[in-house]
Amino acid sequence: MNSEPGHLSSVRLIDEYLRYLRVERGLSSNTLSAYRRDLTHLAAFAQESEREILTLERANLVDQVARLRDSGSNDATIARFISSVKGLYKYLLAEGLTRRDPTIFLEGRKAWQALPRFLSPREIASLLAQPDTKTDAGLRDRALFELMYATGMRVSELTALKPSDVEWEAGVVTCFGKGSKQRRVPIGRDALEFLKRYLPSRARLLGEKSSSYLFVDRRTPRLTRQQVWKLIKTYGEKAGIDYITPHMLRHSFATALLENGADLRSVQLMLGHSNITTTQVYTHVTSRRLVESYKKFHPRS
């Protein structure tokens, strides 16, 4: 078979693998349904990343696992997802459709409980400086990135925002997270300023069209998650950031808050985590950085 990455779509690969499990392995319909759910999540993630399953790398899979954990998935759900994904890549290797296995280092629980990846303050500043704010689309993108970093909102929450969700005078935004849970998050001075500057651009981007959503495009009345992923990737490359995802801005938001003295409960509420143990992973990040600083700067480290 042709082993060139990307020559088969993610959906087709999944269908062929599930057919193999049904015919050759004789798995039950319930088991196959569970596999399909997990692999559908993988395919959606690949699409958002502008990749196919055959071109995903370990870093991509770690990021997807972090997203599952961040959204409240328990250990059993994450372990099952990894098992499904590992089975798929084992099949792809056996069929000669790929020569590498990006799941090879996701064996144990410690391996897939990797710390969240986040951007440094310098990388954040470089990313925010990339959009050309002299254009309507550039001003929209700057407002979008400022809001992502200022609030830690998920992409799905950002693309669902409406202008009425922003309390302009109070500097607070109301968003709806997983399970339609509502939360209010402070915006911050810089993000609020760019949002206000963006509103006239929003009207020009819409033209004769109408939209109830805050972030729009000339062609569509609402930015999609895929469009936001593409924007992040494009601007990240311009900023010289090797690997970047929208979720890394969320991680950067939480890490910055904790490093500057915010309490864990407040960060939990702003992120919309249902369980504080999900938020506690960021304390490991800040603790690790403290140790690194100690080793670097203390004369007797």
Please return the burial class of 51, using the count of CB atoms within 10 Å of its CB with bins 0-12, 13-18 and 19+: middle
Structure tokens at 282: 């960021």
**Strand, helix or coil for residue 24:** coil
d(CA 207, CA 150): 29
Catalytic residue among 142, 233, 247, 251: 247
Give the pairing of strands 166-167 and 182-186.
Answer: unpaired
Catalytic residue among 80, 178, 222, 289: 178
Whether 247 is catalytic is: yes
Please return the burial class of 199, using the count of CB atoms within 10 Å of its CB with bins 0-12, 13-18 and 19+: middle
E-assigned strands of the chain? Answer: 166-167, 172-176, 182-186
Question: Are 235 and 246 in contact, with CB atoms under 8 Å apart?
Answer: no
Q: Length of the chain, please? A: 301
d(CA 192, CA 172): 9
Whether 282 is catalytic is: yes
Whether 41 is catalytic is: no
Whether 154 is catalytic is: yes
Question: Are 177 and 161 in contact, with CB atoms under 8 Å apart?
Answer: no
Task: Return the half-sphere exposure (C-beta side, CA atoms, 13 A cut-off) of residue 128.
Answer: 19
Catalytic residue among 142, 154, 202, 251: 154
d(CA 41, CA 16): 17
Please return the burial class of 164, using the count of CB atoms within 10 Å of its CB with bins 0-12, 13-18 and 19+: exposed
Q: Which residue has the tokens 């991509």?
A: 60
Catalytic residue among 67, 69, 250, 251: 250
Active site residues: 154, 178, 247, 250, 273, 282
